Structure 1
Amino acid sequence: MSDDLLDLAQAIAGRASEPEAIESFVTHERDFQVKVYEGEVESLASAEPRGAGVRVVKDTNVGFAFTTDLSSDGVDALVSAARDNATHATPDDAVALAEPTDQPPERIAGLLDDAQSSVAPEDKVAFAVELEHATRAADPRIRNVEEAVYSDSISHIAIANSAGLAGSYKRSDAWCYSVAIAEEDGDTQIGFEFDLARGIASLDPGAVGLRAAERGLGVLGAKKIPSARMPVVFDPYTAGQFLGVLGSALTGEAVQKGRSLFAGRIGEEVAASNLTLVDDGRAEGAPGSAPWDAEGVPTQRTEVIKNGILRSFLYDIVSARREGRRSTGNASRSGFKSAPGPSPSNLALDPTGAGREEVLRRAGRALLVQDFHGVHSGANSVTGDFSVGATGYLLEDGEPTQAVKEVTIAAPMLDILRGIEAVADDRRWLPFGGSFGGATTLIADMTVAGG
């Protein structure tokens, strides 16, 4: 079967002249998004970006350039620009391109929903209309729907380099979200819910709309609670956000640049002894899965923390070579317009063997956190400080008794990790700023500052 995109990537890589090396990363996407308000299309956009990013490595210098002009003249200009940029780059002995493997990486089942490409735009619009309607119809106290959005993307990705590495794959992604505004007796609360899948057929607008409404309705009448030290439970959404903060501190590059609270802690106990944190670039159904990373290195399962002990960081080729290691397959790009850099693929805590209801019962009297506020300013992956606003519920004997708002929860991140007593089996993947698998998570003790 012909693969025009891979042929193009190989042709670009084949322009290398000794002693340089060339890597070509080529993508072709079909993107769609529709936003609905009061049953009408508020905005609709579709795009078909296609382009190439090229890295030229000469000695210890690397230059990067990209283009959307994939004509012969456009490719000539692209390679020339990357060569020129290499002459101005800071030398780095760790710079290298991926070597081809003896066998190509195994395919990952389910990356592409074959039916997604035939879904008509009007069916996507109808989905978004139904999503908004389901949110509004859930309860008379839903006064408005701030956003009801459906989006999808079908991508074809190819990579090749002058060392002989070459590969391509296709993937589809579909997602939706709704933001409900609930109001009662002068109190207004917001409920956000989303879902993601490989295709529209696996998304349920009615269920997403209902959950968005319920999340807003559930915290109507929320109050402050007295300040205390108490157990805290992160729901899957907030647990995923917490992992997102941790993830930025777990790359080899972050450690090497002194931007990680985990620097110098390999082999140390950094979490509870029942805790294992895994980055798995091949996790089935996860949004960050791919057969190989953004440099062409096969993806893998990496145990970052095993039974509480910090075992590994996440590396691309450059950060790995700086420590005499091999890449863990964690190079990432935001598209053909960016050069690769290290990042988690699909980061999640392994379940500890309990379901959500059991974890909540075990919590006893605790704060169940549904939403964080101020994560960007209150969570610092360098110092390990974690102090954020929270909305949720006060639990008594594991049952919600009072909606809670305007409280701050705080503890050092290492204390949070060491205090995790249970991780439920209700994992869901959050695609915001990466791919993080959150699950209901019980922390033994945090400071809750209220009224």
Structure 2
Amino acid sequence: MAWIEELLKQGEKKVDELEVYSFSGTSVSADLKQRKVSLCSSSIETGLCIRTIDKGKIGASSTNDPGQWQACLDAAIAGGRLATSQEWQGLPDPVTLPAEDLAYDPSLLVEPAMAHDLLLKMLDGAAAHPEASVTSGGAGIAVGEITFANSHGIRYVSRESDVSISLEAISGQSTGYEFDHAFSRGLVNPGNVGEQAAFLASRSAGGKDIPTGEYDVILSPMAYADLLSSIFVPALSGRNVLQGRSKLAGRIGETVTAPLLSLYDDPHRKGEGGSTWFDAEGTPTKRLDFVRDGVLTAFAYDLKTAYRAGRESTGSAVRGGFAGLPAIGHHNFVVDGKRDDIFDEPAIYVNSVVGAHTANPMSGDFSVEMSNPFRVENGELAEPIRGAMLSGNFFDLQRQIVALGKESRAVGSYILPPVKMNDVRVIGQ
């Protein structure tokens, strides 16, 4: 902390306020090319980002060499002088936070041998479907520490760890992909990842055409997360609301999804990758309910947007690495509600979608390719489907959800179950 204390001391002589976000970590990764390890690498990463505020003008600078903090501070101050003054009511003050790290395994070994073992176990799993060939895969292990400090007296430290694995397989013209991630080695299942990727590839081979029409559709957690993150979640950003770019603006208190649905950010969920006691600006985090039983109840704000809107930060600031500036996001976005058996009646199951990023987040209109789709019959995945697309308006589809599957899984920063929707437009051959 010594150099951070000196940085803050010098910065306070020149600007009204400043904050320091520092990261240090180690990682190792290994990649597969077919069934052979093609690359294994390890790295040590350090970096810091400094943000200064003076008379409402915000400046920022970052560096991957903490030893150059003086030059980084000077650059942030110089950038602030060129910025436009805005409404600003101050950085947060310190509070007493729990000392427990929410997603950190101190026993995790960041070493090539563990990454190699994860790859081998995925290959063993894929061997259950010999008709499918492994095309690529990867395993990564990382641990890191975040130090956050500001001129108001905040001195927060948080440790995190992550294990991530993935595999892709092919059978004829059909591919399959699966992944897993968790904060501890014991919580990922490489054998299942390999088996599922190979199963999807082999089972999808020889897919049949489907007529264009309206169908009951089950979206896997991965497919649902892709559409949710591209269309609905941006509409929950206070920044988009303030700028008139949210379809949900002005609709607090209205029903915006099916009544069985609740959507919330739970930053204190133990063991999840996004869990934290403080956000990227040092604001204490808390559960934020966006939608409760189908009714819109809140939007997300960081400090800058909250001050512009005359509100308070919801602790929703996140960063895309140490060089990224704070922006509105979420920590663990949870989709919840009453659970049911959603495979008990005929439907179309969609494992993933391609092209969700092309959707229109303002209107909600989308058209995406279905990846690894199947007909659902007698509670199981039956005939594979070839060359079909989903289209419609995602805001409307949120109101057409009729059931949530029993099991949730983590997909990036989302924790969600498969969902069943009625009368979804499927464009076939």
TM class by smaller structure = over 0.9
2:338 matched residue in structure 1 = 352
Q: Please state how far the C-alpha of 1:123 moved relative to its aligned partner.
A: 3.0
- Please give the residue correspondences for 1:221-232 in structure 2 after superposition, counting only pairs within 5 Å: 221-232=206-217
Q: Deviations over 1:276-323 (max 9, x none)?
A: 111111222222111211111112111100111111111111112222
Q: Which segment is superposed worse, 82-91 or 406-415?
A: 406-415
- Please give the residue correspondences for 1:52-451 in structure 2 after superposition, counting only pairs within 5 Å: 52-71=48-67, 74-94=68-88, 96-101=90-95, 103-104=96-97, 106-108=98-100, 110-116=102-108, 118-135=109-126, 137-142=127-132, 144-183=133-172, 188-245=173-230, 246-354=232-340, 358-361=341-344, 364-377=345-358, 379-391=359-371, 392-396=373-377, 398-431=379-412, 435-451=413-429
Q: Deviations over 1:37-80 (max 9, x none)?
A: 35432112211111110001001100000122322xx2221111
Q: Deviations over 1:322-354 (max 9, x none)?
A: 222221111011122111111122112113132
**Aligned to 2:174, what secondary structure does the other structure show?**
strand
Q: Deviations over 1:376-424 (max 9, x none)?
A: 12x2212111221113112245443321121121221221111111112
The separation in 1 between residues aligned to 2:354 and 2:182, in whole angstroms, is 27
Contact preservation (8 Å) 2:110, 2:141: no
Amino acid at match of 1:200: R
- The two structures have a TM-score, normalised by structure 2, of 0.94
**Mapped pair 1:45 → 2:41:** yes
* Cα distance change of structure 1 residues 250 and 385 upon mapping to structure 2, 3 Å threshold: same
* Cα distance change of structure 1 residues 400 and 336 upon mapping to structure 2, 3 Å threshold: closer
The separation in 1 between residues aligned to 2:258 and 2:337, in whole angstroms, is 13
Q: Deviations over 1:146-202 (max 9, x none)?
A: 21210021110010100111100111111100001123xxxx211111111113233
* Cα distance change of structure 1 residues 38 and 234 upon mapping to structure 2, 3 Å threshold: closer
Contact preservation (8 Å) 1:54, 1:82: yes
Contact preservation (8 Å) 2:336, 2:416: no
The separation in 2 between residues aligned to 1:66 and 1:415, in whole angstroms, is 42
**Aligned to 1:134, what secondary structure does the other structure show?**
helix
1:24 matched residue in structure 2 = 20
**Aligned to 2:66, what secondary structure does the other structure show?**
coil
* Cα distance change of structure 1 residues 108 and 449 upon mapping to structure 2, 3 Å threshold: farther
**Aligned to 1:278, what secondary structure does the other structure show?**
strand
Q: Deviations over 1:193-231 (max 9, x none)?
A: 111111323323222111111121221111221111121
* Cα distance change of structure 1 residues 38 and 239 upon mapping to structure 2, 3 Å threshold: closer
1:14 matched residue in structure 2 = 9
Contact preservation (8 Å) 2:102, 2:272: no
The separation in 2 between residues aligned to 1:100 and 1:231, in whole angstroms, is 51
Q: Please state how far the C-alpha of 1:254 moved relative to its aligned partner.
A: 1.9
The separation in 2 between residues aligned to 1:396 and 1:206, in whole angstroms, is 27
Q: Please state how far the C-alpha of 1:98 moved relative to its aligned partner.
A: 2.1
Amino acid at match of 2:7: I
**Aligned to 1:28, what secondary structure does the other structure show?**
strand
* Cα distance change of structure 1 residues 334 and 398 upon mapping to structure 2, 3 Å threshold: same
**Aligned to 1:194, what secondary structure does the other structure show?**
strand
Q: Which segment is superposed worse, 217-226 or 165-174?
A: 217-226
The separation in 2 between residues aligned to 1:216 and 1:96, in whole angstroms, is 54
Q: CA RMSD in A?
A: 1.8
Contact preservation (8 Å) 2:261, 2:294: yes
Q: Identity over the aligned pairs, expressed in percent?
A: 28
**Aligned to 2:32, what secondary structure does the other structure show?**
strand
The count of corresponding residues between Structure 1 and Structure 2 is 426
1:3 matched residue in structure 2 = none
The separation in 1 between residues aligned to 2:110 and 2:87, in whole angstroms, is 49
Q: Which segment is superposed worse, 322-331 or 391-400?
A: 391-400
Amino acid at match of 2:302: D
In the TM superposition, structure 1's runs of 4+ consecutive aligned residues that sit over 4 Å from their partners are 107-110
Q: Please state how far the C-alpha of 1:107 moved relative to its aligned partner.
A: 4.3
> Which residues of structure 2 form unaligned runs of 5+?
none
Contact preservation (8 Å) 1:108, 1:282: no
Q: Please state how far the C-alpha of 1:18 moved relative to its aligned partner.
A: 5.9
Contact preservation (8 Å) 2:134, 2:198: no
Q: Deviations over 1:76-105 (max 9, x none)?
A: 21111100000011221147422222x22x
> Which residues of structure 1 form unaligned runs of 5+?
1-5
